[in-house]
Structure 1
């Protein structure tokens, strides 16, 4: 037998196709098309040949710096489509790098990312043709990059991706890949300035998958609607890659609304769901909520911010074991899990560290703080990213033996970790530290509040005080909520210095990334 090269993620589609060729791995809800694992590998082989022709190939960094050297890159500006999955497996087969880029960026921002990524090929879904054209026109190097279109309703600005694919879908003879070779560039969800590209190696992808499978008990018969965009780490590493690893089924669509997600859960007997708190809340509030059969769901996780107690209770009341998770692009989206038979009084936590994750909470000098005290959360895991692409100063600040998350946390006596908010969001009022997440969780218990962000504003007496920016619940108006009413609610729960002293209302809180509240936008508008 001829010795095969070590391909890491590049071998997955072929090996999964050999193990379960007829099993459906991907469903495109937009078209109703189902793809078996044999289909996915054939598509990946065709795509790999296309990428090899375009120079999206290996440039091993085994003895170099993965944050400064990587294989050929293919950039994508698209909503979730089957071609994204082709490109994921195909770049892995060729030893290249997949760089998904957000279609929500402005042209100058996209131009900066294209300049940083410097792709050999750009794939653009047709609704974003004008965005891509404006971005490439603004950047000389990107302007020379060939572009392929993913058409919508038959319209295409450039040659189409499908027409460019070679016919040969047989086994692709890929190169030997080192575990540290980059496979994904995933940009951070920064809302000011241009996001940084985080370098995710083959080894990191594998270890994140192993961590997720072992911590959450994923199975080969699991089915999930993928509600995160594939330009986000959630679109790949939360569930898509682990389920492909196991041979499960992932359902994608161009856009998912809460009613559609409920429909997929019932129609496909979905077993696993991970979403941000806002989506979970909107599902609870949707007209289909009461009538949807949720009995197939055995694991539902909330991530991307604190989930309100009232939302969690609504899911529990339906017999669904909803709990909170925690992750970040720089160190995998899956770092904690709830122990078996976890008590409901621990629902505000993200659980305990996964098998292949170490966690600690440190002070500003890097010393671990005592149990129960707040400090910065640091993580250590083989699924950590290598660093930021061509950003040595930022890489040195965040990465080392431990990854500095920038999040504040505390660990209780049983080892459960609570996330107390972003380090940069903490403010001082009258000499006392105030952690907005704690205040927001309490304010959200008021029946008039759908969601809330607490920001610091200047105050002559106390230096800074909290201002609650509230999105009201359906059917109520501003007269249903006042500062005295909030004080009455909070008196038995929070020290007085933590109480918001100002109040503002919005029809809808702004979001960035996958429906995550954009705190910077709130502060820019309502800070004083």
Structure 2
């Protein structure tokens, strides 16, 4: 009935609802829409080969790749897995799966064959793209007892002979199979509820789970990032996260593609090359893990590198030490901490305009379209109290692939359980104080290791530190500081340094040293490996 129909009381019909399962032409049409808006703007730079790609070229590549993927059945939910470092072909696959309705499932080349065999079997891809240097690894994975799938294989290389010393398998070459036709392709009917990415978790508690990231999640995380961080079409970033990690896609890559910005990738991006790339590409935004930021500001080239193009830098993937933040602030760079996880976002918080450095230990306030709360077993806790951080919003993932029990535990009630402990201060800033599994109880008092680590790391003889709770007959558990740094440091010297800075029951009662902290994922400290080695008193 219309608005003037007397039988409807003069009330017009409401709009037709648009649920997530309704296909829209724009869903998955990232490269096609951006190429129409910004055809000659450079969207991607491959620093390894010194090639730049306009959005027109990226869309043409995506059309060729879409035709290739359809030949292998990577359409309408079919999956393409990759075992590769950051390279343009992964971007082509991201754009192409949007066109075909397929799913991109990048796998970490840093994992061992048993882990990859189990993960590949879970993903069950129609096609596996392998970068040439990892051909032998892929062969070991496919031959492992835990691998129950046999996808079609294509090998990717930079040029003829590149990585050929590692290429001991006779699989077809990606470049040779890629169709020449780059004209527009027919789009699949793709809705926001359809999966776009399978991204695996860090795997610190066993074989990594595959997180199902829908088109809705990707789009809304992009909205959050653009609005909360103030991204601009003219922004350029060196992408230092690997593209098998949510950071490689959803921290800055997709949001900048959304706007028409520029992303710079490379096969290897160590701190020295990141420093060099900032003035070389007029980089305006940078997001990296604390270890990378720390190494950059301690590099010999730090003082001579022109950082004036940077509008802001974000640290993510763990707490950033105050000394590192001060080093960047001293260079007039706006550095603050972010927070996210594969299961939600990963961009959830932002620092308000004009924020004070007194809030530097916080991750800020919730972004535009993010709900956050801190809870215990009885529900939300008052401000100032510690509980588990939970997040909600349209940017959340849908669950874990073929893992209903784990999905119910993490996503079950509409809130994503992060497993991180946090508190909200009087001004509404969120402070992440540690993982639920890392907290320990000493003499009946809860101890949160990051609080102690933050202070220990300011000692001049300490480069990096992990604090563990270890068994103690008198107190149940006490702290053990595992330090990377000057082994001349004594426990007594450390405790004297900490006295008055933290409560006495939090002072470590044991001290151990490592030459270098073990890492997992994109340069994140592997706390589980530290605990396995040093978890006894």
TM over 0.5: yes
Look up the SS of the partner of 1:282 in the other structure.
helix
Distance 1:268 1:515 in 2: 23
Counterpart for residue 36 of structure 2: 18
- The yes-or-no answer on 1:390 pairing with 2:399 is no
1:489 to partner: Cα distance = 2.0
Look up the SS of the partner of 2:437 in the other structure.
helix
Please give the per-residue CA displacement for 1:239-264, whole angstroms capped at 9, x wherever unaligned: 00000111000000011111100111
Alignment check: 8 A CA contact 1:308 1:441 kept: yes
Counterpart for residue 49 of structure 1: 67
The change in CA–CA distance for 1:7 and 1:141 in structure 2 (over 3 A counts) is: farther
- The yes-or-no answer on 1:78 pairing with 2:96 is no
Counterpart for residue 9 of structure 2: none
1:142 to partner: Cα distance = 5.5
Distance 2:323 2:301 in 1: 18
- The yes-or-no answer on 1:312 pairing with 2:312 is no
1:6 to partner: Cα distance = 2.1
1:463 to partner: Cα distance = 1.0
- The yes-or-no answer on 1:358 pairing with 2:383 is no
Distance 1:190 1:493 in 2: 34
Distance 1:378 1:8 in 2: 31
Counterpart for residue 54 of structure 2: 36
Please give the per-residue CA displacement for 1:127-150, whole angstroms capped at 9, x wherever unaligned: 111111111112587553110001
Distance 1:440 1:237 in 2: 29
Distance 1:483 1:140 in 2: 46
2:386 to 374, 388, 404: 374
Mapping 1:321-332, distance limit 5 Å: 321-332=334-345
Please give the per-residue CA displacement for 1:165-204, whole angstroms capped at 9, x wherever unaligned: 1111011111111110001000000124210000000011
- The yes-or-no answer on 1:495 pairing with 2:486 is no
Counterpart for residue 64 of structure 1: none
Aligned residue pairs: how many? 507
Look up the SS of the partner of 1:409 in the other structure.
strand
1:387 to partner: Cα distance = 0.3
The change in CA–CA distance for 1:136 and 1:8 in structure 2 (over 3 A counts) is: farther
Alignment check: 8 A CA contact 1:203 1:383 kept: yes
1:364 to partner: Cα distance = 2.3
Distance 1:140 1:174 in 2: 36
Structure 2: which 5+ residue stretches go unaligned?
A: 1-21
Counterpart for residue 14 of structure 2: none
Mapping 1:179-198, distance limit 5 Å: 179-198=192-211
Counterpart for residue 106 of structure 2: 100
Counterpart for residue 112 of structure 1: 118
Mapping 1:153-168, distance limit 5 Å: 153-154=161-162, 155=164, 156=167, 157=169, 158-168=171-181
Distance 1:54 1:376 in 2: 44
Counterpart for residue 483 of structure 1: 491
Distance 1:29 1:220 in 2: 20
Distance 1:44 1:489 in 2: 57
Counterpart for residue 226 of structure 1: 239
The change in CA–CA distance for 1:378 and 1:194 in structure 2 (over 3 A counts) is: same
Distance 2:511 2:25 in 1: 56
Counterpart for residue 141 of structure 2: 135
Counterpart for residue 66 of structure 1: none
Mapping 1:229-248, distance limit 5 Å: 229-248=242-261
- RMSD, matched Cα: 1.3
Please give the per-residue CA displacement for 1:279-318, whole angstroms capped at 9, x wherever unaligned: 0000001111000000000110000000000000000000
Distance 2:56 2:308 in 1: 30
Alignment check: 8 A CA contact 1:279 1:515 kept: yes
Counterpart for residue 315 of structure 2: 302
1:483 to partner: Cα distance = 1.7
The change in CA–CA distance for 1:127 and 1:220 in structure 2 (over 3 A counts) is: same
Distance 1:9 1:79 in 2: 27
Distance 2:483 2:276 in 1: 30
Alignment check: 8 A CA contact 1:5 1:174 kept: no
1:276 to 269, 289, 297: 289
Mapping 1:387-466, distance limit 5 Å: 387-399=399-411, 400-466=413-479
Distance 2:452 2:188 in 1: 53
1:144 to 143, 150, 175: 150
Counterpart for residue 65 of structure 1: none
Distance 2:50 2:25 in 1: 32
Distance 1:9 1:176 in 2: 9
Counterpart for residue 174 of structure 1: 187
1:462 to partner: Cα distance = 0.8
Q: TM-score, normalised by structure 2?
A: 0.93
Please give the per-residue CA displacement for 1:335-372, whole angstroms capped at 9, x wherever unaligned: 0000000011000000000010010000123x111110
Distance 2:271 2:143 in 1: 37
Distance 1:469 1:393 in 2: 35
Alignment check: 8 A CA contact 1:8 1:202 kept: no
Mapping 1:494-513, distance limit 5 Å: 494-513=502-521
Look up the SS of the partner of 2:406 in the other structure.
helix
Alignment check: 8 A CA contact 1:118 1:141 kept: no
Distance 2:425 2:186 in 1: 51
